[in-house]
Amino acid sequence: MREHDDFKGNTPGSASIDTTPDFTIEVETDQRICLLLDISGSMKKNERSSKMYTATSNFLLNMVADGTSVGVATFNNKGRVVHQLLTISSQSDRQQLVASLPTTTGGTTSIGAGLLACITALNSSIDGLEGSMIYLVTDGEESRAPYIADVQPEITTNGVIVNTLALGNESDTHLGGISRASGGQSFYYSEDEDSTVLTDVFAASVVDTSTDMLIQIESKSFSLSSTQPYEHYITIDATVGRDTIVQISSSESNDIDISVTGPDQTIYTETNSTFGITTIKIPNIAKSGSYKVSVTITSNGMIPAVLNVQSKVRIPGETTAKLSVWLSDDTHVYGSDAPTVVYVAVLKGMAPVLKCDVIASLEGYNASNIQLHDNGIGSDSRENDGIYSAYVFSNNFERSGRHTLKISGQNINNRAEILKSKEKSNTFPYYSGLTTELVWNFQRVILSSEISVTNYSTTPLTDNIKPGKITTLKLKSVQLMGNKLQIVLLWKAIGDDLDVGTASEYDLRISNSFSKIKQQPEQCTKLTNNIPIPKLVGSTEQHLVTIDDESLNRYIVVRAIDDVGNKGDYSNIVSVSKLTDPAWTTEAINTVNLTGSFVSGGLAIAILLVMLILGLGLKIRLSNANDKKKLIKEKRNQKQKSGKRESSKKHHNRYEYENRNNIV
């Protein structure tokens, strides 16, 4: 290859860039997890130590998959390994790990010392450190070396992933940093009575790491009293149902009674209560359908409680609808014109699940539900790709500090569809024939990483957020009416604040110069006749533009403006081009001269041949005479066809219009 003309003798590449391929061979191994638990003195506050014990016990008993190796470490002023890695294969293994969980607290806080203890525990595995995970639970700020920053290079260099759970707003701000640097997630527990985070956070970790996928069906807080029993319906779909459990967490678990009624009216009442959690396990494989959860309590007063429902895929290794969530930024500056974007992918294997109802809610806020969309508008860059998105604005927050965002996704009334390839192979659906199929009713819950809000102020916010960019402008039709062109434009309405609310007006511009409308759209001609009043976000807008049929090319853009004059960016550019046939000219054909030329040529040839071969002269002469007549006939036919073509082109102009919707 180096001797080929394309390379030989040409300017060589940079000598400082090594282009030698680097191959990494990855081998799937069993999970290796080390629980790292804070036992410093501050964990006595708000019963944090007790809550941590309950959450980690439930994780070990009901969530972590068989075959997972789990160790336990603690830290205060020192780090300690309290249980070496143990590969779980039985219920007794789970009980053994629970027995090692700490129950006493005291001392200062050295998170770095705890991380080093976990490294020691994880390093005992024959699979090494890479790919192993640390689940760090803490409430305090570092007060003693080694600090997180001291040990972070060792963590990241060895490929260890750190998930962190902050208990309360006093926990160290560096937790998010080590999670990001190691490829993990950071979570926040507000300590509110109605918070579900202590259950959700461990479920989210198992969903991310387990090959035997745990699916969180429901997570919901509610209030309960002796005079106000609680009922709630959940859906177990046809792809899950194995190891299904229904749990109620409450400080008064001894006084709680639970029953679960299945779709076939079977009633399940056998419960197990440990560590403040009452659990019902659905035996064997739970039938698909709707289940009613009924909860009663005998004690007096209003009691807060949390419902958690989880299951596994019906057949190990099969796919099911799964939620994945990520944020554009985990820090939100209050009052900024750049909101945080939350993205949620709803997929079954590689196939997008469309038309789902996806909602994000900020924990601890009333009426904080944020609807996510997969409509190609505003925060959503592509319609019907299974990725739902929404903006989280400053007015969604009421304080500085950490916040928790929980996502619920469900299929309502069998509307959802799976977008899949027509091919039998597991190809990505965008690059082959596509089809859709209806999806069973399902529901899912997942927890997002924390959002940290800075610069909160009680001063009323000013409207500094402009409408979103319209990216859906296109031509519906173009017609020639006399000497006028009638162009019908279509686009989807955008919001007042990006894709939220309703804009106040539209600004449409037209030009015969592409470069001008792209670089200086405000200097182009403004359209003013019958401009539509903006509709609700996602509604279809239509506008008729009439122009003189003179210019060969016209380019059009549109933008939205809000009620205080904030102007959105101009849309994608659409173009209208008139395509006409080239001019035709005619030239008379002189048949007589043409005939004479052929006759003269024929006679000359005949005479020559007579002189050379007398016996064949007559035959050749007759042949040339026949050729002459044939050519004359062909020329006459050509002239007639030319005349017809000239007439057709002279009296008819053909108009075609191009629609360049993808020019941005």
Q: What DSSP letter does each residue of 75-134 carry, written as one string?
A: ESSSEEEEEEEEE--SHHHHHHHHHTS-----S---HHHHHHHHHHHHTTSTT-STT-EE
| Token pair of 325 as six digits | 């969530």
Tell me the two tokens of residue 498.
């990006």
Structure tokens at 313: 């895929």
Can you list the alpha helix ranges (DSSP code H) found in 491-585? 514-519
Whether residue 648 has pLDDT greater than 60: no
Share of the chain above pLDDT 90, in %: 61
Q: Residue 568: enclosing H or E segment and its boundaries? A: none
Q: What are phi and psi of 571, to 5 degrees?
A: -75, -175
Q: Residue 218 in contact with residue 308, Cβ under 8 Å? A: yes
State residue 541 phi and psi, 5-degree precision. -100, 145
DSSP state for residue 427 in the 8-state scheme? -
pLDDT the model gives residue 299: 80
> Using alpha carbons only, how large is the chain's radius of gyration in Å?
37
Q: Rounded distance, CA 161 to CA 135, Å?
A: 9
- pTM of the predicted model, to two decimals? 0.80
Query: What does the DSSP assignment read for 360-377?
Result: EEETT-TT--EEEB-SSS
Whole-angstrom distance, CA of residue 309 vs CA of residue 63: 11
Tens of pLDDT, residue by residue over 616-634, are 444 434 444 455 455 555 5
Tens of pLDDT, residue by residue over 88-124, are 999 999 999 999 999 999 999 999 999 999 999 999 8
Neighbour count for residue 291 (Cβ, 10 Å): 24
The residue written with tokens 């469900």 in the block is: 410
Domains and CATH numbers, the chain: 28-193 (3.40.50.410), 212-318 (2.60.120.380), 321-454 (2.60.40.1930), 474-577 (2.60.40.10)
> Residue 477: helix, strand or coil by DSSP?
strand
Q: End-to-end CA distance of the chain, in Å?
A: 40
Buried (b) or exposed (e) across 523-557, using 16+ Cβ within 10 A?
Answer: ebeebeeeebebeebbeebebebebeeeeeebbbb
Whether cis (ω within 30° of 0) applies to the bond prior to 146 is yes
Question: What pLDDT, in 10s, does the model give residues 564-606?
Answer: 999 999 999 999 887 655 555 555 555 444 444 434 445 444 4
Q: What is the pLDDT of residues 131-160, one digit of tens each?
A: 999 999 999 789 999 999 999 999 999 999
Q: Are 35 and 73 in contact (CB under 8 A)?
A: yes
Q: What are phi and psi of 55, to 5 degrees?
A: -65, -45
Residue range 268-312, pLDDT digits in tens = 999 988 888 999 999 999 999 999 999 998 888 888 999 999 999
pLDDT tier for residue 530 given thresholds of 50, 70 and 90: very high
